[in-house]
Structure 1
Amino acid sequence: MPSIPSPAHSHIKQWQSFLILLGIYFILWSILPAFIASSVPFDVSEGINWGSEWQWGYYKHPPLSSWILYSFYQIFGHIGPYLLSQLCVLLTLFLIYQLGKKIWSQKTALLGSLLTLAVVYYVYPSLEFNHNVAQFPIWAGLYLVFYQALTRNRLSDWLLLGVLGGLGMLTKYSVIFLLLPMALYLVLPKQWPLLKQPQPWIAAFVMLAIFAPHLYWLMTHDWLPLTYASGRSQEVIETANGITRHFSWLGFLAAQIVAHIPLLLMLGFNRKRLIGIKDYKYSLPTGAPLLWYLWLAPLVLLVILSLVFGVGLRDMWGMPMWALSGLLAASFIAPATQVLTATKLRKALTIWLALATVLMVVYVGFGDKIRHKPSRMNWPEKALAVKAQDTWQTLSNCPLDSVSGDRWLGALVAMNSSFPSQMISGPARHSPWMSADRLQKNGTLILWQDGDEEDIVLPLLDDITVTDIGVTDNIDATGKVSNSNDDIKNNPMALVKQQGQWQVDWRDIKATEPLLVNWTAYIPISCLK
């Protein structure tokens, strides 16, 4: 007579099946977008090209995220950015699981870490690896090591806190909205004995030491990322005036609530199996109040900044802030109903992740063909790169050293053309790897679309002599530059200017108009073909 599986054995089998499905989900999101998208998202292309320059900072952000992104792209190609994003999500879940085990049970920790995926930010927005996605494991790791540092007070935990804090500041400055509440917590009277010991100060020193090279870069580069961040904040409130500019936090708060809708729905459908607020307060284990504080304090800090100082908040600034949401939600499940509730929540998560995957495939793979309007991930990046290389090689014997003009077009060409540098339109200090001497020696290729030429600002070209004489007018039968033109004879260091336009087909065969890209090539006379 066959044995009847025990409830515990059946429960384990259900978890194993779910984790297999979860593994398939992460594999699909790591690989599939590279095959169904014809180009990478804008932040990805920008980050890859920044990282290829290996600077200690860039005009928008600190450097760490771009370094890692470029490295993954070099190793894994177009799969790299998507793989990196999902690894960040997976590492976040693992760290939250480790934290949950220390405060609640292993079952609560496992379910709570997986419920993190019911927050929208950890699903579709994670498709585009950027500085917000890079912060996912940083925030989760800081939660874990800060808790361990307070409860165990080991030097190793404080050192790790300093390392993660420093790496966080090298990723995106918004991690300060978590570090400040942590510092505030340490100055509460209950923590004063800790501050009389060297460990917290050693952590602060390590954090500053890791951040120091970028801090020096900021001081020598006009604090560019802070200026950019201030400008982004100003964009939010530029249409507001008077008292209304102090309430941008309302839109920010609404966006964070919307991001939690899948999680709130899952809890709502299981509300009868949750502990009431009054009972929950009395059942809180040691350490749980700290997590609630770390979950809520960054949001309160941002609201205060908006309300008091009129700082404009952008919705996506909240992306890394909610790694604790799933764990705190799971802590409301009554122990007596945990097995049944976990089963229902696994089914709900399966439905949610399957739906998100289908929508991702439809939008990325077929969105342009459905709407007849391409998104950023539907641009013909490889065709653009081929056009750029063919055009340059037709005109020049020298390799393409840099692309300029439209940031989006330039980034797509650069990352698919053996990484010529990208000269960013705007002040010259936005591209510190470029110089007038480098342009004089190697030339550049400028790209833009109709109507955008007024937005192209390349001040390094202003001090360089340029001749508009066509290339074909200055090449003799032997292929050498003819001496018939006085401009070229008198200015052997001048750049010869050539212009044209590409017509590139969209992958949507029903698109009514092709993509038209204008180009101008500045070619050193010594390189003329």
Structure 2
Amino acid sequence: MLIWTLLPSLLLKNASLDIIEGLAWGHEWQLGYEKDPPLWPWIIESLTASVSRSLWACYLAAQFCIGTVFFAVWRLGNRLTNSREALLGVLLMEGIHYFNYPTPEFNDLVLQMPFAALFGWLLHRALTGNQRLDWCLSGLVAGLGLWARYSMGAYIAAMGLFVLLHPQARRRLAEPGPWLLVLTCLLVFSPHIYWIIDSGFVSISYVGARAPVADTGAQYIVQLLAFLGAQLAAIAAMLALVFLLWRWRSSKPTCVQTAKADPVDFNRAYLAALALGPLAFSLLLSALTQRPPRAMWGGPLMCFVGLLIATTIRPVFTVDRLRYFGRAWLIVLLLPALLFVVEQVCRPLIAGREGRVNYPGQELGLEVTNRWLVGTGMPLKYVIGDTWHAGNVAFYSHDRPSTLFSHGGYRLSPWVSPEKLKQSGAVVVWDALREGLAVPADIRAQFPKAVLQPAILLSRNSSIYKIGVAFLLPESRSPGAPAQMHRSRFDPPPPTP
């Protein structure tokens, strides 16, 4: 947690694309957004607002999520097996790509992980102990997991099917516990269900459109194999660690007896369903829809793979084996961090340009806000444009304006209305290097009264950025008063007469 909080805090100069988008959403405090449930945008908005818009709080929150996964896996492991194998199950997770290198990109994928892990631990407590508090807590984390990301449903569906199929678990259906879980989950998630219906299923439509499209069965199989190959690559370091403690002679795994009837078989079946069931459900859904999943979607499905392997191989704990394992584990811990540092330091030299996490967003927000203030004498309340450029202005401007995403208009930005724009005006921004200095045609069609301004020229180390700017003036200005063509220190000097 310390490593992956400090490194991005020291090396990344700008918010990533996911964080920028989430901040634009979270600033509006809606019950849902075009792509995601609202819990993740609410969290990052609250965190950045509480620390003067510093991003270290987001990086720390991401690592708190990963630490919670490790904690929940450890607690479940102690219920299923001995403490050494439980600890090994946690240590092996450091060898899974999704739990280290990508985590500074705090997004809905990272946020879902702790809820999935807590759900697996608490559901086992509920099934074996049958305490109503555990059933309610399981329903609570399941509902909150859905607020984080819809793919939490893969865990809920997989474990629901396990309860239906396993005789020992199925007996609980005659008792109030499982129905308390279902009721709690529905009550927690019901406000967002209302929003989904009221919004015309905007977010559900996005999820369907986001998955890759396979035109033929052969293409689907190729893309599905690519997804599975990506998951194997993500756990390659973990498999290398497993090799160091592998027991080559066959031996049946043992589990601590925590249930009255067939505890060993029950615990083994439960862990297998928990570790592999969500992936199997996702693949089944993919096959039914002929939509291959994206590689990064596998991240939240890997929470219990390490524990499953640790309890299956019956590892050999000798001094020599542990010595080799410890050295290899330190490499697996530190190598991704080293690669992260090398990428951030050397990428501009190798690629010839900065990444988005080193974009001059703060300078852009300051310059746009100053131009608007000089040109209109009013605070900036709205910014229009694509997610990246408008989102950077919205976050880094000291006026903290609301964002109208140009790709979706008012439907995807319901916190903005034509009446509000008429009253307060807005700034339109776009990438002038890619789209030209003139107002892009799609934006011009939506806002024909936008007044073109001089472009903003920014630089960061080896990269040059040219941002197009236009003012959508508030109607409260006098009809004949044009916007001031404000010239900033970033503009080239005027031609000599």
Report the TM-score, using the length of structure 2 for normalisation.
Answer: 0.88
Could you tell me which residue of structure 1 aligns to residue 495 of structure 2?
Answer: none
1:287 maps to 2:262? no
Of the three residues 468, 471, 474, the one matched with 1:518 is 468
Q: Would you say the 8 A contact 1:503–1:516 is kept in 2?
A: yes
Q: Distance in 2 between matches of 1:432 and 1:52?
A: 13
Q: Distance in 2 between matches of 1:335 and 1:370?
A: 43
Of the three residues 350, 366, 390, the one matched with 2:346 is 366
Could you tell me which residue of structure 2 aligns to residue 34 of structure 1?
Answer: 9
Could you tell me which residue of structure 2 aligns to residue 442 of structure 1?
Answer: 424
Change in Cα spacing, 1:375 to 1:303, as seen in structure 2 (3 Å) is same
Amino acid paired to 2:456: W
> How far did residue 349 of structure 1 move?
1.7
1:54 maps to 2:4? no
> How far did residue 28 of structure 1 move?
3.0
Residue correspondence of structure 1 range 452-491 to structure 2 within 5 A: 452=435, 454=440, 456-457=442-443, 461=447, 466=449
Q: Distance in 2 between matches of 1:389 and 1:383?
A: 10
Change in Cα spacing, 1:92 to 1:347, as seen in structure 2 (3 Å) is same
Q: Distance in 1 between matches of 2:299 and 2:444?
A: 34
Q: Would you say the 8 A contact 1:428–1:458 is kept in 2?
A: no
Of the three residues 438, 456, 465, the one matched with 1:502 is 456
> How far did residue 56 of structure 1 move?
0.3
Q: Would you say the 8 A contact 2:254–2:311 is kept in 1?
A: no
> How far did residue 110 of structure 1 move?
2.0
Change in Cα spacing, 1:328 to 1:189, as seen in structure 2 (3 Å) is closer
Q: Distance in 2 between matches of 1:336 and 1:122?
A: 25
1:98 maps to 2:75? yes
Could you tell me which residue of structure 2 aligns to residue 184 of structure 1?
Answer: 161
Residue correspondence of structure 1 range 325-340 to structure 2 within 5 A: 325-332=305-312, 334=314, 337=317, 340=320
> How far did residue 340 of structure 1 move?
4.4
Q: CA RMSD in A?
A: 2.2
Of the three residues 302, 308, 321, the one matched with 1:341 is 321
Could you tell me which residue of structure 2 aligns to residue 237 of structure 1?
Answer: 213
Change in Cα spacing, 1:105 to 1:242, as seen in structure 2 (3 Å) is closer
Change in Cα spacing, 1:264 to 1:455, as seen in structure 2 (3 Å) is farther
Q: Distance in 2 between matches of 1:499 and 1:336?
A: 69
> How far did residue 283 of structure 1 move?
7.1
Deviation readout 1:299-320 (Å, 9 max, x if unpaired): 2222222334312211111111
Q: Distance in 1 between matches of 2:445 and 2:412?
A: 11
SS at the partner of 2:21? helix
Q: Distance in 1 between matches of 2:424 and 2:165?
A: 59
Deviation readout 1:77-112 (Å, 9 max, x if unpaired): 121111111111111111111111111122222232
Amino acid paired to 2:78: K
Q: Would you say the 8 A contact 1:37–1:365 is kept in 2?
A: no
Amino acid paired to 1:499: Q
Amino acid paired to 2:419: D
Change in Cα spacing, 1:92 to 1:458, as seen in structure 2 (3 Å) is farther
Q: Distance in 1 between matches of 2:414 and 2:320?
A: 59
Could you tell me which residue of structure 2 aligns to residue 209 of structure 1?
Answer: 187
Could you tell me which residue of structure 1 aligns to residue 361 of structure 2?
Answer: 381
Q: Would you say the 8 A contact 1:428–1:460 is kept in 2?
A: no
Deviation readout 1:136-166 (Å, 9 max, x if unpaired): 1111111101111111111011001110110
1:79 maps to 2:56? yes
How many pairs align?
462
Q: Distance in 1 between matches of 2:12 and 2:315?
A: 45
SS at the partner of 2:460? coil
Could you tell me which residue of structure 2 aligns to residue 396 of structure 1?
Answer: 376
Could you tell me which residue of structure 1 aligns to residue 20 of structure 2?
Answer: 45
In structure 2, list runs of 5 or more residues that go unmatched.
Answer: 257-263, 478-482, 485-497
Q: Distance in 1 between matches of 2:314 and 2:136?
A: 37
Q: For the pair shown, which has the larger CA radius of gyration, 1 or 2?
A: 1
Could you tell me which residue of structure 1 aligns to residue 285 of structure 2?
Answer: 305
Residue correspondence of structure 1 range 74-223 to structure 2 within 5 A: 74-76=49-51, 77-188=54-165, 190=167, 191-223=169-201
Q: Distance in 2 between matches of 1:269 and 1:258?
A: 18
Q: Distance in 2 between matches of 1:310 and 1:457?
A: 35
Deviation readout 1:409-450 (Å, 9 max, x if unpaired): 111111111421011112421001000111011111111113
Q: Distance in 1 between matches of 2:154 and 2:441?
A: 34
> How far did residue 270 of structure 1 move?
3.8
Change in Cα spacing, 1:339 to 1:161, as seen in structure 2 (3 Å) is farther
Report the TM-score, using the length of structure 1 for normalisation.
Answer: 0.83
Of the three residues 203, 220, 226, the one matched with 2:204 is 226
Q: Distance in 2 between matches of 1:433 and 1:458?
A: 21
Change in Cα spacing, 1:200 to 1:330, as seen in structure 2 (3 Å) is same
Q: Would you say the 8 A contact 2:425–2:475 is kept in 1?
A: no
Deviation readout 1:166-199 (Å, 9 max, x if unpaired): 0011111111111101111122261332111111
> How far did residue 399 of structure 1 move?
0.4
Q: Distance in 2 between matches of 1:146 and 1:455?
A: 54
1:260 maps to 2:235? yes
Q: Distance in 1 between matches of 2:196 and 2:20?
A: 23
My pick for the range that moved more, 116-125 or 248-257, is 248-257
> How far did residue 377 of structure 1 move?
1.0
Q: Distance in 1 between matches of 2:255 and 2:425?
A: 69
Q: Would you say the 8 A contact 1:85–1:127 is kept in 2?
A: yes
Change in Cα spacing, 1:406 to 1:460, as seen in structure 2 (3 Å) is same
Change in Cα spacing, 1:208 to 1:459, as seen in structure 2 (3 Å) is farther
Amino acid paired to 1:517: I
Amino acid paired to 2:394: A
Change in Cα spacing, 1:113 to 1:282, as seen in structure 2 (3 Å) is closer
Q: Would you say the 8 A contact 1:49–1:422 is kept in 2?
A: yes
SS at the partner of 1:446? strand
Q: Would you say the 8 A contact 1:439–1:461 is kept in 2?
A: no
Q: Would you say the 8 A contact 1:427–1:459 is kept in 2?
A: no
Percent identity between matched residues is 29
Q: Would you say the 8 A contact 2:92–2:242 is kept in 1?
A: no
Q: Would you say the 8 A contact 2:162–2:273 is kept in 1?
A: no
Could you tell me which residue of structure 1 aligns to residue 295 of structure 2?
Answer: 315
